[in-house]
Structure formats: structure tokens, C-alpha cells
Structure 1
Amino acid sequence: MTATMLAGRLNVDTARFALEEIPVPEPGHGEVRIRVRAAGVCLSDVHLVDGSLRPRFLEESTVTLGHEVAGEIDALGPGVPEDWKPGARVLLQAGERCGRCARCVRYTEPCLSTRTRGVDYDGGWAEYALATHHTLVSVPDELPLEQAAIVPDAVSTPWAALVSTADVRPAQPVGVWGVGGLGAHGIQLLRLIGAAPIVAVDPLESARARALDFGADAVFDPGDPELPRRVGAATGGRGLDAAFDFAGVPAVREQAAECLAPQGKLTLVGLTPEPLTITNGVRFSFAKQQVLGHYGSSPAHVEQLVELTRHRRLELSRSVSDTMPLSEAGAAVERLQRGGDTPIRLVLTP
């Protein structure tokens, strides 16, 4: 009899999410099977369920969700290097190179068609998950798997946006719009980089309090008509060298752009299908400002963050707002859809 497991499956054509019993997968060449111990629940998962975000490369109509995954190696397929052993604690990179484009054939540049775990192929909202061995990252014993699981995306996406896309430097004034899972870590990481001052903007009082707890120097309500002036005052009249939209809201982007300093950069991290509008295009061009798109992170960013936790430069115990059993994945999605308590990250524990 074929062994089965519980998995959170989404049919992207019908927008039906359900927990189903499916066969336990067998690892192929170069693959390992992971016994999933923790899997993060992200707003991107919610957007997949509600249909506002659709996979670009999914070859089937149904996929197991979950791109933030950690657990233990359960079984090895042929061709896996001897360094990897059953029982090893690992987290999984959130994506795979496509293996087909010219960049992948040369393997000298980043792939521009990266497949995302839990979006374009089966992810970790399941008791077991498959991963190619080169997407494994060892987890140090001192890092709980619930925290390790969220490093790919919840922590690595803002880290990559800060240090690579926007190239934030010490003592630069920076603004963060949206203090949810990505924004809270963005503030924490900006503090690590040495950005100053760090300004956080969120409509929820609880999120503004969180921003201060994570290291923001000033917090504001986006509904304040005096917000651009207040940001200017907080930065000594300079404005923001870098602003980050972690919310994925069109109005946020216009407001953030208005707060930029000359040659300032607005980086779009939160995802939305809505149009991007810069109201005062003349001012934007005259000031030589920039809008930068951002998505995900590279394997190196995840590895850097694991090292930072290993050496106690980065502490993630506040990042897991709650753990829930895999059987309550639907409830976790609904909790994020409702908003209100604005968790940093919910984590499923199969």
C-alpha cells in the first residue's frame, strides 16, 4: 500500500484550497525528502489563494503551498553528495533555477526565470517535501526550526532588498511602509546595517508600536496629511535616501515617493497587480529619483542570515507570532485575510 501524507493543496484554476491526503513523494536523482517540521504562512500564500497572485511557471493546475520550509532530511535520492545525511536539520531555499535558460546553462549569472517553491512546484505545507540537494542550507542547533523556516522570504527578501537592490549604506535615512512580516524584519535589518534615522509608516497603532520595538527611530500614520513634512523634519530636512514599500499598496508608493530625497530610491517589495503611478513626474525626474522592483532573494542572502543568527548578530525569537498544526492551514490563511492582529509570521507545524 502506498504511504500517504496530509498536504495543503491549491487548485489555481478554481481557487479551491483544501487539505488532502496525497502519496508521500519519493526523491529522484539529486533530491532529498524532508520531514517538514515548520512551514511559514505568508501574505503571498493568501494572494495565491484569493487569485490576486498567479504562478508563472506551474505546469499543473494544483500545487502544495509553502515556500518557507525547515525540517530534517528523511531520505536521499541517488546522486546526493555524501555531506548530507538522514536526520540533518535543514531549511530549504525558496526557489530553484529553471535549468533551461542560457544563464543556467552557463551557471555564471542569476537565473531570470527562477521557479518558486510552493508556487511553481510543490512546497512545504505537507508532512514531507522534496528538494534538490543544492537548495538545502544547514541549520545550526541553536536556531529553532520554527525560526529557521521563515528565513527564506520573511527575512531574506527584505535583506536582499536592502543590501542588494537598494544598496543601503550606514547613516542613510530610510523609510519603511508596512510593518508586517517583511517590514518588521526590514527595520531590524536596517538597524543592523546602521541606517539612520529609520522611519516606519503603518496605519495600525499596534504595527507602529512593533516598529519601535524592532528599532525604528520614528513612526507615523499614513493618514496624517502632514506626513511628508514630518518625515522631512525627522531627517533634518534631507528626505529619505531609500524608501521601501513592503505593503504592496499603490497609495503607499505615491506617498513614499513624495518623501524621497534627491536621487532617492523607492524599492517595491510588496506585490500588487495594480498600476504604479508617480503623480509629479517632473519633480521625480528633476531630482533623479528611481523606482526599483524587487522579488525574493538569492541563496547567498539566506546563507548570510543563517550565519548572522549563528554569531548572534540577528535574533528571530520575536518573529514567530504563533504556531498552528498543518490541519489548521485554512484557518491560518483566513487569519491573515482578516488582518487585525497583524502577526509577523504564523508557522504551520506538520
Structure 2
Amino acid sequence: MELMRAARLHLPSRTLTIEEVPRPVPGPRQVLVKVEAAGVCLSDVHLIDGTLTPTYLQQEAVTLGHEVAGTIAELGRDVTGWAAGQRVVLQAGDIRDGLVLTRGVDYDGGWAEYALAGVDTLFNLPDAIPFEQAAIIPDAVSTPWGAITTTAGVRPAQAVGVWGIGGLGAHAVQLLRVVGACPIIAVDPLPAARRRAVEFGADMALDPADPQLREQVLAATGNRALEVAFDFAGAAAVREQALTVLAPKGRLVLVGLTDTPLTVNDGALFSYLQHQILGHYGSAVDAVPQLVALMEGGRLDFSRSVSDVLPLADAAKAVHRLHTKEGEPIRLILRP
């Protein structure tokens, strides 16, 4: 039996350890991928600190990592159209028996030397795109892309607001620029995050504690207010504030995950203005290849998004850095 190293989260104790585990063997319509890069996401942090708990995990431990890029090492039975050595990026999850399962949450992910992937979750990765940038496309980029293009249906020249300029929100700003939203107003309490938002294409960046925030939003939108607001922070205060600057029939899209209750302070006003609150999770199956094509075509560049690359052995260090925001990382990458 061949062994490999993997970063395993033990759910009962919420401890993360680097372990020697059996190297997976691909089954029918599966491939074994040699992991070249795996992203570290805030949801990984929340799995470790207990804020999030896997819904469908069948064991007490799981290899983390839902953002993965690498090369095909081995083909399982009935796999056609793929070859060993081919560069690939993996969808962050798949659908089994009607259930949406997330890689590195509900089944073993890519914080390891090798990872299993069903052929339905594989996408070809052009040679021009570095593994480190490709790895963050599933989730860090595809989730805001789905929120913008599918759930919110943002159209050119629509005024939008983005609350929370972290790993998802920073990419949302960049993607909103691509689809033609205008103006793009970023909101974050951290000065570094606000600077980042402007660098990534926001027209203005505001502090949520600014008592003049509503007035500034109205001035920037010609008194239209926001047609769409995105909550990437998963915070009640964000939702409450966003609703105060939504235009009639405006949409608030909840992307940041939280287990706190969702409340509307003024139900009568909410109904009168015909506001909508939309939940969002993940992305459609065509999101990753769309984004790969946009990167290959020069429309998107995620080189600024990779804040650092660390060895797999430093997985705990990467989690700590993301949790404490040490160095204000957008995305940290593990390289087995």
C-alpha cells in the first residue's frame, strides 16, 4: 500500500494534523490527481474553529481543501478523453444522489499529495495559467462569479455594493468590473481591504462605520441607490446596512455563510420597496471553464490574489495567518 501526506481535520476535537494516509485508488470514472496547488479558504478556518460542520461527511475526519489544481496521475476504469500528465483544475464539489457535496468538507479534498476526482468535476487547464492561480478559481472566483451572473443577474451600468473585501469580495469587485457594473462601491472596516478594493477596480471604498455612508452611496449613484448589494461577510450588521441603501426592487445577495438568524428590521418598508433577499452558494458547473477561458483570453488576472505559497506541512500556519489576517492575505496556497 502506497502512502501519502495529507492535512486531516478530526471533527470531534477540531484538530488539524499532517498524517501519512493510504494513497487513493481511482474507481470507475474517477482519476487520481497529483495536487500541485490547493487554496486555503476562510471556510476551512471555520471548519476548524467549529463555526461550520460538514453536513454529509460519513467519517470523523476529512482531508480539507476544496480549491485544487494539479496533473492527472492515474486513470480509473471507464475514463475516456483524459490522459495521465494532463493539467486540470477541479470543481469544488459534485452532485451525488441529488445531494450537493463539497470537496474537502463532505469528502476528502486537496490538502494532500494526491486527490480523487470524478471525471464530471475535471476541467482542462491551459499551460499558460499557473497552478497557483488556477487553484483559487473554484470557490474564491467561481462563487462570486455565480453570485454576480446567475443569482443576482447583474447587468451593465447597474449600481452595486460589495460588503467584505476578503478572498471572495476582492474577486467580486474584479468580476463586477468585467461585467460592466457601475458604480462599484466597496464597504469594509479595514483600511487595507478598502485600498485593495480600489486597486481591484472599485469606484469607491467606504467604512461601514461612516455615519455618512448612505449619503455617499446616494451621491455616487445619482440618488438611485444600489440595484444589487452583496454580503460576502456573513454578518447581520452588513445585511441591515445594505438594506438601507437598496433601490426599490433592489436585491441583497447573501454569499458569506453564517448560522445566525436572518432578520428584517422594517418589514413594511421591505415590502413597500419590493426588496429581495437571495441566498447564494457555490456556482454552476459551467463557471470554472468560463473563468478559465476569461483568464486564457487575458480578461482576468489573478496574480495579485496569491498572497503566499506555503508547503503542505505549514497548513496550520496558513490557517492561522488567514484567521488573524496576518499580512492581509487574499488567498494562501499550499503546495504538497
What corresponds to 2:69 in structure 1? 70
What corresponds to 1:349 in structure 2? 335
What amino acid does structure 1 have at the position aligned with 2:281?
Y
Residue 116 (structure 2) pairs with residue 130 (structure 1): yes
Distance 1:273 1:12 in 2: 18
What amino acid does structure 2 have at the position aligned with 1:339?
K
Distance 1:205 1:277 in 2: 28
SS at match of 1:162: helix
What corresponds to 1:104 in structure 2? none
Residue 17 (structure 2) pairs with residue 15 (structure 1): no
1:164 pairs with one of 138, 150, 162: 150
SS at match of 1:114: strand
Return the offset for 1:13. 2.0
Distance 1:198 1:280 in 2: 26
Distance 1:218 1:46 in 2: 29
Distance 1:277 1:231 in 2: 23
What corresponds to 1:231 in structure 2? 217
**Where in structure 2 are the equivalents of 1:1-350 lying within 5 Å?**
2-81=1-80, 83-98=81-96, 100-101=97-98, 113-350=99-336
Return the offset for 1:15. 1.0
Mean Cα deviation higher: 336-345 or 165-174: 336-345
Return the offset for 1:226. 1.6
Return the offset for 1:61. 1.0
SS at match of 1:129: strand
Q: Deviations over 1:69-97 (max 9, x none)?
A: 0000001111111x211100001001111
Distance 2:264 2:105 in 1: 31
TM-score by length of 1: 0.95
What amino acid does structure 1 have at the position aligned with 2:187?
V
SS at match of 2:74: strand
Distance 2:232 2:215 in 1: 21
Return the offset for 1:275. 1.2
Return the offset for 1:341. 2.8
SS at match of 1:267: strand
Residue correspondences, number: 336
Return the offset for 1:340. 4.4
What amino acid does structure 2 have at the position aligned with 1:162?
I
Q: Deviations over 1:122-174 (max 9, x none)?
A: 00000000001111100011100000011000000000000000000000000
CA-based RMSD of the aligned residues comes to 0.8
Distance 1:341 1:235 in 2: 33
Gaps of 5+ in 1: 102-112
Identity of aligned residues (%): 58
TM-score by length of 2: 0.99
SS at match of 2:239: helix
Q: Which portions of structure 1, spanning 4 or more consecutive aligned residues, are displaced by more than 3 angstroms?
A: none
